[in-house]
């Protein structure tokens, strides 16, 4: 009797994750990014597609293609092009942190410039305003009667946020802040209060951060009181709570005051 030897056929390589990330890449629009950044990413997608279509691709090659796609998408975020508008008209576009200057139109007779409004807050009282792009930004130039006294408000705000996924599944989150500090106050310290659990009702009090809250002091603040703070390595499915704070002193009374933004929650989905 002749024995028949069974031939071992290797199981097919699982390309589910690679397919998923290629589909995610397909949702991106080239017009949202710089040409150089998109050209580099397009090459990564082409190579990953080749691995997906290759019936002989090894598990290592598939894994490397997935990592390249994720890293490429992370790098592409730095090449994303944002639009700046003034009163509904596009005046500039650029990548994150690019410096832009906008200039208000001359006021009508009997009027004076009253500030640049962004997301319902006055962010500058300078007719010529220079700032760093932090996302799509829609400014409105406001005006007031010549005789009206314009008082600069005291506030801290979250101007924008960013979530950047990492190849290990974790995420780095960025809180982009904007402060308004009237001339009669001295800014002592500013930064981010954050927490990763729901057990604290509030992250801050009138006299300072709630005990247990984590604090990141902003190391660099622009002359226009803009800054960004990163919280890195947020696990998948985790939500962090963030509040921008400013500790100021009244020049006249020498009293210290804490000012906070609204709480903003970011989830690594």
- CA 116 – CA 107 distance, rounded (Å): 13
Nearest-CA neighbor of 114 among 151, 139, 142? 142
Q: Which two tokens stand for residue 96?
A: 């994150």
H/E stretch holding 141: strand 137-145
DSSP assignment letter at 80 = B
Q: How far is CA 137 from CA 31, 95, 175, 217, in A?
A: 17, 12, 15, 25
Kindly give the confidence (pLDDT) of every residue in the chain, 269 residues in length, as a single tens digit, with 9 standing for 90 and above: 444 444 444 457 889 999 999 998 999 989 889 888 899 999 999 999 999 999 999 999 999 999 899 888 888 877 889 999 999 999 999 988 888 999 999 999 999 999 999 988 888 888 999 988 888 999 999 999 999 998 888 999 998 898 888 777 888 999 989 899 998 999 999 999 999 988 899 999 999 999 999 999 997 676 668 888 999 999 999 999 999 999 999 999 999 999 999 999 999 98
Q: How far is CA 211 from CA 49, 138, 214, 242, in A?
A: 51, 37, 9, 15
Looking at 3.40.50.300, 2.60.40.2060, 3.40.50.720, 2.60.120.460, the CATH number of the domain 155-267 comes to 2.60.40.2060
Name 80's bridge partners.
33
Put simply, whether the predicted model's pTM sits higher than 0.95 gets the answer: no
Burial of 190 (0-12, 13-18, 19+ CB in 10 A): buried
* Contact call for residues 33 and 79 (beta carbons, < 8 A): yes
């Amino acid at each position: 009797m002749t024995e028949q030897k069974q031939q071992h056929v290797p199981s097919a390589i699982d390309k589910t994750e690679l397919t998923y990330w290629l589909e995610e890449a397909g949702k991106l629009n080239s017009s949202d990014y710089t040409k150089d950044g998109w050209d580099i990413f397009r090459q990564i997608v082409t190579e990953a597609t080749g691995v997906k279509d290759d019936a002989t691709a090894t598990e290592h090659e598939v894994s490397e293609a997935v990592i390249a796609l994720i890293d490429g998408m992370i790098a592409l975020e730095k090449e994303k092009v944002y639009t700046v508008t003034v009163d509904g008209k596009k005046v500039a576009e650029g990548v994150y942190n690019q410096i832009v200057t906008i200039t208000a139109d001359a006021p009508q007779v009997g009027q004076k410039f009253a500030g640049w409004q962004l997301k319902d807050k006055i962010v500058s009282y300078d007719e010529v305003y220079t700032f760093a792009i932090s996302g799509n930004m829609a400014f409105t130039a406001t005006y007031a009667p010549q005789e009206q006294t314009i008082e600069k408000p005291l506030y801290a705000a979250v101007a924008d946020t960013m979530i950047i996924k990492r190849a290990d599944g974790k995420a780095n989150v960025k809180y982009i802040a904007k402060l308004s500090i009237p001339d009669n106050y001295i800014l002592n310290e500013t930064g981010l209060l954050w927490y990763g659990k729901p057990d604290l009702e509030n992250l801050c009090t009138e006299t300072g951060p709630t005990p247990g809250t984590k604090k990141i002091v902003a190391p660099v603040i622009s002359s226009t009181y803009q800054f960004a703070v990163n919280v890195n390595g947020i696990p998948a499915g985790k939500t962090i709570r963030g509040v921008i704070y400013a500790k100021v002193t009244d020049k006249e009374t020498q009293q210290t005051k804490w000012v906070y933004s609204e709480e903003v929650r970011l989830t690594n989905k």
